[in-house]
Amino acid sequence: MAATCAAALVVALMMVSWAAVLAAASLDTSPVPFQAGFMPLFGGDNLVRSPDGRSVRLKLDRRTGSGFVSKSAYHHGYFSASIKLPDDHTAGVVVAFYLSNGDVFPRNHDEVDFELLGNRRGHEWRVQTNIYGNGSTSRGREERYLLPFDPTLRHHAYAVAWTPTAIVFYIDGTPIREVVRVPAMAGDFPSKPMSVYATIWDGSAWATEGGRYKVDYAHAPFAADFSKLVLSGCPAAVGVGGGGGGARCAVAVMTAEFAVMTPAKRAAMRRFRRRHLLYTVCHDRVRYNGTVLPECDDADGSERDDFHRWGESKRVSHSRRGYRQPQQLQREDKDAAGGRPSTWPIGSLRAD
């Protein structure tokens, strides 16, 4: 009996792993050239492609910001960009990497955001994540974090894994936030196809200390460099009915490595959050009148004591000055990046 069970288990496991292998084979998480997956959105010549077509610089100056968008919309998938942020005085500057369908559904759009918020000279960039579903803009689901590195020295990967059951935000392969879909979220969980966007813009009204510090154009242009663009999703055009292609792709997304939260990944996420999470809507008891959003569960209670009742961390402070990395390390970091100059040689760039 036990032997039969074991044999059945082995067969079942083999089937599962074969399914996973077959499914995974259909999802390619390697970076695509800009032209293959994206097109300019706004900003004219403030969007500059690298000579090899694999990287893009987005600039913000007095005239305009800039941005690009994926050519396709996707129904779930994994989307990543390696971004190097402008340094020096960047108060009010917002660099965003996000999914949205606001152009198709202006009244009930879905959105999944990474927003990188600039700061005054010597103060750290902060990262904000957020989601909206079906126009739930009155229920912001923000979290804010400090970064464990200086994001202006080299590229770091910011990624979103979006499946029918969860959304996971990653920085450099470390999960930093997991939003698990629960029935009570209803339409608030993003569920319609979205396009992938990257933009730089003037967020003077709110980005830095609630709008206290505005963009200072004496420091313009502000340039954010994007590379290693990954579009690993189910193109919306395939449709869920379309010969099973959509359903197969959804399975591929749900079984892919980026979607599976192993115990090791959960531990890494907890570590990151203990050290870098500044604010989370999930511990904010003031904002929504004493209630918390339905997906917020701190099952093991490991985070609760670390937060004030308005959601701000007691452990992590945004008044800390500068980056913790000593200067020496920063220099080594720069060298390790291949001696690449911090600004591209302008002569070799071409704006299309």
Write out the catalytic residue numbers: 111, 115
Is residue 64 involved in binding ligand NAG (CB under 6 A)?
no
DSSP H helical ranges for 96-207: none
> How many residues at the interface with ligand NAG, by CB under 6 A?
5
Based on CB atoms, which residue is closest to ligand NAG, 108 or 174? 108
DSSP letters, 77-106, are EEEEEEEE---S--TTEEEEEEEE-TTT-S
The residue of the chain with the least Cβ separation from ligand NAG equals 187
List 4, 30, 138, 289, residue binding ligand NAG (CB under 6 A): 289
d(CA 7, CA 268): 35
Give me the least distance between CB of 186 and ligand NAG, in Å please: 5
Residue pair 226/58 in contact by the 8 Å Cβ criterion:
yes
DSSP letters, 146-163, are E-SS-TTTS-EEEEEEE-
Give me the least distance between CB of 82 and ligand NAG, in Å please: 34
Query: What 3-state DSSP class applies to 191?
Result: coil
Query: What 3-state DSSP class applies to 236?
Result: helix
Based on CB atoms, which residue is closest to ligand NAG, 29 or 108? 108
Sign of the dihedral through C-alpha 156, 345, 54, 35 = positive
Is residue 134 involved in binding ligand NAG (CB under 6 A)?
yes
List 21, 186, 267, 336, residue binding ligand NAG (CB under 6 A): 186
Give me the least distance between CB of 290 and ligand NAG, in Å please: 6
Based on CB atoms, which residue is closest to ligand NAG, 71 or 192? 192
List 108, 174, 204, 342, residue binding ligand NAG (CB under 6 A): 108
78 closest CA partner among 22, 15, 32: 32
Is residue 187 involved in binding ligand NAG (CB under 6 A)?
yes
Interface ranges with ligand NAG (CB under 6 A) = 108, 134, 186-187, 289
